[in-house]
Amino acid sequence: MQPTAERYGSGHINETYLLTCPEGPRYILQKINTSIFPDADALMDNIRRVTEHIRSKHPDDPRCTLTVLDYSKPWRQYVFIEGARTYDLIERPDQAYKVAKAFARFQNDLADLPGPRLHDIIPRFHDTRHRLEQLDAAAKADVKGRLKDVAAEMAFVDAHRDEAGRILDLMASGAIPERITHNDTKINNVMLDDATGEGVAVIDLDTTMPGCALYDFGDMVRTSTAAAAEDERDLSKVFSRKEYFEQLVRGYLSEAKFLNEAELANLAFSGRLITFTIGIRFLADYLAGDVYFHTACEDHNLVRCRTQFKMVESMEAQAAEYEAIVREAARG
Ligand code: GN1
Ligand code: MG
Which residues neighbour 237 within 8 Å (Cβ) at sequence distance 6 or greater?
227, 228
CA of 192 to the centre of ligand 2 (A): 14
Q: Which domains does the chain have, with CATH numbers?
A: 4-82 (3.30.200), 85-330 (3.90.1200.10)
Atom of ligand 1 nearest to the CA of 230: 18
Atom of ligand 1 nearest to the CA of 189: 5
- How far is Cα 163 from Cα 71, in angstroms, rounded to an integer? 41
Query: Which amino acid residue places its CA nearest to atom 18 of ligand 1?
Result: 12
Q: Is 30 in the pocket of ligand 1 (CB under 6 A)?
A: no
69 three-class SS: strand
What are the per-10-residue average pLDDT scores of the chain (332 residues)? Answer: 89 96 91 98 98 98 97 98 96 97 98 98 98 98 98 98 98 98 97 97 98 98 98 98 98 96 98 98 98 98 99 98 97 84
**Whether this model's pTM surpasses 0.95:** yes
Long-range contacts formed by 10-17: CB under 8 A, 24+ apart: 10/88, 10/188, 11/188, 11/204, 11/294, 12/293, 12/294, 13/206, 13/293, 13/294, 14/206
* H/E stretch holding 28: strand 26-31
> Ion ligand 2 — residues with CB under 5 Å?
11, 189, 204
Q: Which ligand is nearest to the CA of 281?
A: 1
CA of 222 to the centre of ligand 1 (A): 12
pLDDT of residue 17: 97
Greatest Cα-to-Cα distance within the chain, rounded to the nearest angstrom: 61
- Nearest residue to 81 via CA among 181, 192, 206: 192
For the chain, how big is the Rg over CA atoms in Å?
19
Helix residue ranges, H only, 188-296: 213-224, 242-255, 261-265, 267-288
pLDDT of residue 24: 83
Specify whether the CB–CB gap between 213 and 178 falls below 8 A. Answer: no
pLDDT of residue 329: 97
- Nearest residue to 199 via CA among 102, 106, 105: 102
Specify whether the CB–CB gap between 100 and 220 falls below 8 A. Answer: yes
- How far is Cα 281 from Cα 140, in angstroms, rounded to an integer? 15
